[in-house]
Amino acid sequence: MSDLYQPGVTPAHYPQLLEQKCQTLTQRLSEFDPPALEVFASRVTHFRLRAEFRLWHSGDRCFYAMFDPEDRKKPLEVLDFPIASEQINDLMQRLLAELQDNQPLRRKLFQVEFLTTLSGDALITLIYHKKLDADWEVAARALMARMNVAIIGRSRKQKVVLERDYVTEQLSVDGQTYRYRQIEGGFTQPNGEMNQKMLSWARRCSAGIGGDLLELYCGNGNFSIALANCFDRVMATEISKTSVAAAQVNIADNQIDNLIIARLASEDFVQALRGEKQFERLKDVDLSSYDFRTVLVDPPRAGLDDESVKQVQDYDNIIYISCNPETLQANLRLLSQTHTIQRCALFDQFPYTHHIETGVLLTRRPV
């Protein structure tokens, strides 16, 4: 549950909470003698583009519920959700009214997930403790028509896609508009406006470097799409099949002709780059022709393992996007042996929580 729902926490506390994050991050980075921290504040309300709730049934009514981490058995009714987008708050109320007397849709429904975009697209996922049958599908299609929103039904070993299982986002970055297919269940940045700021920052970090970019852990191409025109060519890797499929759509939709995304684990790609192993998915790619001067990594919370750190140290410029300042600090202790921090930024993707998103630009130390 967001800390915003804890007693006494309001948007008025946001500047103080953000300052605490700045102090925490500054302290963790202090041993590397970094430049001044660039701070990107979030909107204080309606910034989150996805949300999920338990649906609690009580007699003749049902309601959205969240749980206090200290008492998981006691549901707390959610009447509205001010950190979520205005569109989610609207859909929450409309969907709840539709469910109350609709037994095919309401029966054994235990969770609802909302995925929205800055551009107004939306998708609702209904998750059940029952098999979804023909009666459910008829009712769900009627609901989809009334609400004018895409709907997916899920249950154990079952996924019913009525129209589509994705939304299409449009992001405005440095005067350019980028289109992104975002798959239900896949990773996307939850704070769309902050994502725009983060992409713009990464573009500024890339200005004037030249050469080619390598991106590891590229997801649906969030960074590589926006950075493509900052480099001669971009090579990106991602292991998730659904994310790569979305990325290929995004390449086509944005008419990008200098970006290749391969479905490979980062360690496999490095083996291919070193000539240690060949992969069928790279058979038409001449890796020796690339002039990789920059690598971008956006790893999971566990950060980079020691071998991956050694791999990225091969590049003159490193753009490191981190969702965990603790593992970032550990990685920087190794990276700082060969590189220095030129820029560092805090992106407040998750206001009212302790989560900190960081961007760091490192360049190789002179020999």
pLDDT score at 284 = 83
Pair type for strands 212-216 and 166-173: unpaired
**Residue intervals in the chain for CATH 3.40.50.150:** 3-44+191-364
Dig out the tokens for 126 from the structure: 């209904």
**Residue intervals in the chain for CATH 2.40.50.1070:** 50-167
pLDDT score at 269 = 82
Q: Which CATH architecture has domain 50-167?
A: Beta Barrel (2.40)
Question: Per this entry, what is the length of the chain?
Answer: 367
pLDDT score at 5 = 46
| Of 260, 272, 285, 266, the residue nearest 216 (C-alpha) | 266
Is 22 designated active site? no
Give the separation between CA 113 and CA 134, rounded to whole angstroms. 22
Element (H, E) at 310: helix 306-312
Dig out the tokens for 322 from the structure: 């981190």
Give the separation between CA 191 and CA 85, rounded to whole angstroms. 9
| Of 200, 201, 233, 198, the residue nearest 215 (C-alpha) | 233
What does the pLDDT look like over 256-303, one tens digit per residue? 999 999 888 877 887 888 878 888 888 888 888 999 999 999 988 989
Q: Residue 61 is which amino acid?
A: R
DSSP category for residue 157 = T
DSSP category for residue 41 = P
What does the pLDDT look like over 57-103, one tens digit per residue? 998 899 999 987 777 778 889 999 999 999 999 999 999 999 999 99
Q: Of the residues 184, 215, 238, 357, which is catalytic?
A: 357
Dig out the tokens for 256 from the structure: 């990008």
- Low-confidence stretches of the chain (pLDDT beneath 50): 1-5
Q: Is domain 3-44+191-364 in CATH 3.40.50.150, yes or no?
A: yes
pLDDT score at 186 = 85
Give the separation between CA 73 and CA 76, rounded to whole angstroms. 10
Q: What share of the chain is helix, strand, coil (3-state, %, to 5)?
A: 35, 30, 35
Q: Of the residues 218, 230, 323, 344, which is catalytic?
A: 323
Beta-ladder partners of 154: 127, 159
pLDDT score at 306 = 85
Q: Residue 194 is which amino acid?
A: M
Give the separation between CA 134 and CA 307, rounded to whole angstroms. 51
Dig out the tokens for 125 from the structure: 């996922």
Is 113 designated active site? no
The pTM score is 0.93
**Cα-flanking dihedrals φ and ψ of residue 83, to 5°?**
-80, -20
